Amino acid sequence: MTDYRDTIVYFLPFANDYDDYTIDIYCHYIYLLIHRQLARYGVDFPYIVGTLSVTFNAHFVVISINEIADPQIATLLGRIIKSIHTTELADDLLASSILRAETETGCCWCITNHAELSQALVNMLRNEYIRPANNGIVTAPHDKQINTNQLMPTWLHLRSSHKLFEVALVSFSLDNASINDRILVPLISSIIANHTESSLAPFGARYLGCSIIDDGQDVILKYDAVVHSRQRRKIKQALARLNYLRVRNSDLYLMLKKHTRQLAANSNTIYDNTGIIMPQRLLSKYATGNNLAATLSRLYLWRIAYTKPSATDFYRITHNKEQE
């Protein structure tokens, strides 16, 4: 397998025209927009795209995608990002962006003036992203005032309420797992984690992490996410689509290529939770497209459980704090 990897970075400089709350909504919107555009071009599995993040600081909005495994994907991502300024504001993506901001902060974002928020986002969408020359260093222009606008915008009222949220515990099962299955479990866990996160993102879910449970017979893949209590039905419908996955051969190839690279970089820990010691030289014997397709086709959504964290626990979750 030819080793190709790439990292794409684009940035959007802005003046002191926007408050942090508007920019936060905008970043969530761009994240969702890129995923939507990828799906329209037939990219079904976020795992093969790379790790997408949209963040901001006092000077820039920054889009970065790491560990891209395919040059065609890299070209497609560049085309999508460069065309963002030509897109119209989508009401459903805006609604999803507000939901994501709520689970991120643990607050209800009560929009008191939708027109004002929408116009601010339309203005931001008109700006074109810039790619650093030769992926070099970027410095903010000295004639640009840094963003120090921390005031609450007039379109927003925040209300803290942890009771609006809960933690979804999503479990997929692989029954009677064979040695072939177990060797592929770390890869499958990453594929399903990315797929779960992107499937739940439109409903405002905030992905927390995943774990692998192997009892010697069955393997359970568990994923945790903060969700809105009122989104249970939509969450179940979205996750049901991950049952017994069928994958194109081209996608299988990219998944295996990316996994081979990760194993080479982290072979001592990647199989920690599967009870297997796996020398890299043996990976090609087991990690084949046919084996991966067969294992994915047997994985199914076992159950979705929900817990209501206390106010203290929810604060720790939303602020990434360890239990003391």
- CATH number reported for the structural domain that contains residue 300 in this entry: 3.30.830.10
Number of domains in the chain: 2
Provide the pLDDT for residue 315: 75
Task: Say whether both 94 and 175 belong to one domain.
Answer: no
Whether the pLDDT of residue 321 is over 50: the answer is no
Mean pLDDT of the chain: 84
Provide the pLDDT for residue 274: 67
Task: Say whether both 137 and 180 belong to one domain.
Answer: no
* Beta partners for residue 223, in sequence order: 170, 210
Say if 248 falls within a structural domain. Answer: yes
CA distance 119 to 190: 38
Q: Which positions ≥6 away from 118 have C-beta within 8 Å?
A: 89, 94
Whether the pLDDT of residue 1 is over 70: the answer is no
Residues 258-303: pLDDT tens digits?
777 766 665 555 666 666 777 767 777 888 888 889 999 999 999 9
Say if 89 falls within a structural domain. Answer: yes
Whether the pLDDT of residue 247 is over 60: the answer is yes
Domain that holds residue 79: 6-160
Task: Say whether both 114 and 191 belong to one domain.
Answer: no
Q: How far is CA 278 from CA 3, 178, 287, in A?
A: 21, 15, 11
Say if 111 falls within a structural domain. Answer: yes
Provide the pLDDT for residue 77: 94
Task: Say whether both 17 and 156 belong to one domain.
Answer: yes
Whether the pLDDT of residue 322 is over 60: the answer is no
Q: What is the pTM of this model?
A: 0.87
Q: Which of 306, 316, 314 is nearest to 163 (CA)?
A: 314
Say if 323 falls within a structural domain. Answer: no
Range of lowest pLDDT (17-21, 66-70, 256-260): 256-260
Whether the pLDDT of residue 148 is over 80: the answer is no
Where among 97, 125, 160 does a domain terminate? 160
Highest-pLDDT range among 113-122, 260-269, 286-295, 313-322: 113-122
Whether the pLDDT of residue 124 is over 80: the answer is yes
The pLDDT of 23-49, averaged and rounded, is 91
Task: Say whether both 235 and 255 belong to one domain.
Answer: yes
Q: Which positions ≥6 away from 91 have C-beta within 8 Å?
A: none
Task: Say whether both 76 and 177 belong to one domain.
Answer: no
Task: Say whether both 193 and 309 belong to one domain.
Answer: yes
Whether the pLDDT of residue 143 is over 60: the answer is no
Highest-pLDDT range among 38-52, 114-128, 231-245, 246-260: 114-128
Q: Are 295 and 178 in contact (CB under 8 A)?
A: no
Q: Are 81 and 129 in contact (CB under 8 A)?
A: yes
Task: Say whether both 310 and 168 belong to one domain.
Answer: yes
Residues 155-211: pLDDT tens digits?
999 998 888 899 999 999 999 999 889 888 888 888 888 888 888 999 999 888 889
Q: Which positions ≥6 away from 314 have C-beta within 8 Å?
A: 106, 162, 165
Say if 324 falls within a structural domain. Answer: no
Task: Say whether both 191 and 51 belong to one domain.
Answer: no
141: pLDDT confidence band, cut at 50, 70 and 90? low
Where among 160, 185, 210 does a domain terminate? 160
Where among 110, 129, 160 does a domain terminate? 160
CA distance 276 to 294: 20
- Give the CA angle between residues 217, 223, 226 to the nearest 5°: 155
Task: Say whether both 97 and 196 belong to one domain.
Answer: no
Reading the block at residue 175, the tokens are 């029954």
Say if 96 falls within a structural domain. Answer: yes
The angle, 0 to 180 degrees and rounded to 10, between the axes of the packed helices 91-105 and 20-40 is 120
Question: What CATH number does the domain containing 92 carry?
Answer: 3.30.830
What values do phi and psi take at 46, rounded to 5?
A: -55, -25
